[in-house]
Amino acid sequence: MIAIIDYDAGNLKSVEKALQFIGEECRVTRNREEILSADQVILPGVGSFGDAMEHLKQYGLDHVIREVVDRKIPLLGICLGLQLLFEKSEESPGVDGLGILKGEILHIPFEEGLKIPHMGWNSLEIRKGAALFEGVEQNAYVYFVHSYYLRAKDEDLVAAVTEYGTRIHASVEAGNVFACQFHPEKSGEVGLQILRNFAKIKQK
C-alpha cells in the first residue's frame, strides 16, 4: 500500500487517481501508523511553502516524515513536496523546511518573455542509472507548475534537470528519498512510468 500524506495540500486526488490507474493500492491519510506501515509514502503538494510547513507541524506530520526517512521507507516528494524536503525557500523567509536534504528553493529569475509561474511541458536531462527514470527516454517531456525551483547543495543527488530561465534541479534521489519538481501524475505515460518505478522500490 502507498500512503499519500494528507496535510490539506492540493493535488492529492490526482495522485491517488494516477496510482489507482496503474493498479496500485493507495490511501490518502495523515494517520501515523498507516503512514509508517505503508510500502511507500508520497508527499504531494500545491501551495505555499510556509503554509505547508505550518500544516505539517499542526498535524505532527513533520515528525512522521522524518520517521519514514529514518526507517528507510521509500518517500517521494512531488512539486511542493520536493521543496519541503529541503532547508528553506525564498517564498517564505524565516520558515525552516524539513531539512531532510540540503539545498534551497529559489524564485525562478524574471526574464523578458518568460512566464512565471512556469506552467507547461519541459524536457528532462536524465542522469544515467536514476531509479525513478528506468525505462524513460532521455529528453522526455513532463508537466511543471511552479514559480520556485530547487538548487540542491550536492549535485550528486540530482537525477534530472531542465532549463527554464535557469538550470532547474527537477528531480533528486538520495537513498530511499526521491522527489520531482514536476507532476508525474499529470505527465501522461512518462509520469505513469515514473510512478510505476517508485512503486517497485522497497524499504532497505
Q: What is the residue whose three cell numbers read 512565471?
A: 116
The active-site residue, picked from 118, 146, 169, 183, is 183
CB 199 within 8 A of CB 23: no
Strand (E) positions, 75-140? 75-78, 88-89, 103-107, 118-123, 125-126
Cβ count near 63 (within 10 Å): 12
169 catalytically annotated: no
79 catalytically annotated: yes
H-type alpha helices, the chain: 12-21, 32-36, 49-58, 61-70, 80-84, 188-200
CA 8 to centroid of chain Cα atoms: 16
The active-site residue, picked from 16, 91, 173, 185, is 185
33 catalytically annotated: no
Closest CA to 77 of 132, 25, 125: 132
Query: Per this entry, what is the length of the chain?
Result: 204
The active-site residue, picked from 26, 79, 118, 169, is 79
Catalytic sites, residue numbers: 79, 183, 185
